[in-house]
Amino acid sequence: MRTKDKKELTKHLEELKTELTNLRVAKVTGGEASRLSKIRVVRRAIARVYIVMYKKRKENLRKLYKNKNIQAIRS
């Protein structure tokens, strides 16, 4: 996942979000237990994608400000 670029990560994130909404609908309508247990897996996968996107953004900012006198604001 870390080798993917931003477009691929965004696409993967959208797929996971739609899958999560489908699983939540199945939960409300009384879906089978095997599908309901997948909600946790999908939520964690979404979090992983967000983490990878965040780390890539921070890495790019570090490269940008590496040899400059200005320091990036740390939040």
| Tens-digit pLDDT profile for residues 16-39 | 999 999 999 998 888 788 888 899
Residue 45 clears pLDDT 70, i.e. is over it: yes
Q: What is the pLDDT of residue 24?
A: 93
Q: State the CATH architecture for 6-65.
A: Orthogonal Bundle (1.10)
pLDDT digits (tens, 9 = 90+) for 49-74: 999 999 999 998 888 888 777 766 77
Positive/negative CA dihedral, 3, 5, 6, 12: negative
Task: Name the CA radius of gyration of the chain, rounded.
Answer: 17
6/25 Cα distance (integer angstroms)? 29
List the structure tokens of 21: 């909404």
Q: Where are the domains of the chain?
A: 6-65
